[in-house]
Amino acid sequence: MGRTKDHQYVLLEALRTAHRASPHGWVTETLGLSRHSVEQLVATGLAEWADPSERAELSAYAGRPVVWAARPSSEGLDILLYTEARTRPPSQQPPSPEPEPGRKEVGLLPSEMTMLRLFLSLGGSLQHPPATGLDEAVRKAQFRKESNRWLLHVTEAQIASIAYAFYLEGHRGHVTAANRFSRNYGITYRPGTGTPASTEPATAQSAVRTH
């Protein structure tokens, strides 16, 4: 498979422009392209010739003999479309909506979202099950490529539940998630204090303490 050269791409664009302007969808010598230039595109599969029966119909339409006619191949059209998309500036993601009253925005790494989804999959089997609505908050989370973070809008109870999920992970996996969550959001789950509960950094409660 050969790379489409720049001059071939320019020819292909010109052929497509003429193809679009043609009343019958075929490009002939009357539309400003030479047979030699079109031959280069046909040789690489980017264009196709009209067969004898199609040329006969074109001759009848034009009222004169049509020696050759061509049009971009399906692959040629796709190459043009793909190249345009490839060179188009990446679209900017719309800004995240503001959290609703009573919710905060929490950013989690992809690996942390995997831990949280595992926690959610255990559901009611846990002695301390996920907070109500946390599964919905995860479903609605938006991924931000520029920061490599999943953004969740969660309540205090759901934040506490996330801290508990990372507490469980820290015992059988890695403590990195729990430490990062504690550092960023001031919340750490402490065992032996009952059901996880949410707390603002300045108002420590039973199951979750702030730093």
Residue-wise pLDDT tens digits, 58-86: 999 889 999 999 999 999 999 999 888 88
For 131-147, the pLDDT digits (tens) are 999 999 999 999 998 89
Using a cut of 0.95, tell me whether the model's pTM lies above it: no
Q: What's the pLDDT score for residue 15?
A: 92
Please write down the long-range contacts of 129-132, taking CB distance under 8 Å and 24 or more positions apart. 130/161, 130/165, 131/155, 131/157, 131/158, 131/160, 131/161, 131/196, 132/157
- Domains, in order of start, for the chain: 6-87 (1.10.10), 104-210 (no CATH)
pLDDT of residue 100: 86
Contact between 58 and 65 under an 8 Å Cβ cutoff? The reply is: no
Does residue 202 carry a pLDDT above 60? no
3-state helix, strand, coil in the chain (%, to 5): 50, 15, 40
Are 25 and 19 in contact, with CB atoms under 8 Å apart? Answer: yes
Tell which residue, 126, 132, 128, has the closest CA to residue 158.
132
Closest CA to 163 of 108, 83, 95, 121: 108
pLDDT per residue as tens digits for the range 104-126: 999 999 999 999 999 999 998 99
Q: Is the pLDDT of residue 203 over 60?
A: no
The answer to whether 123 and 130 are in contact (CB under 8 A) is yes
The Cα 90–Cα 69 span in angstroms is 37
Contact 161, 123 (CB under 8 A): no
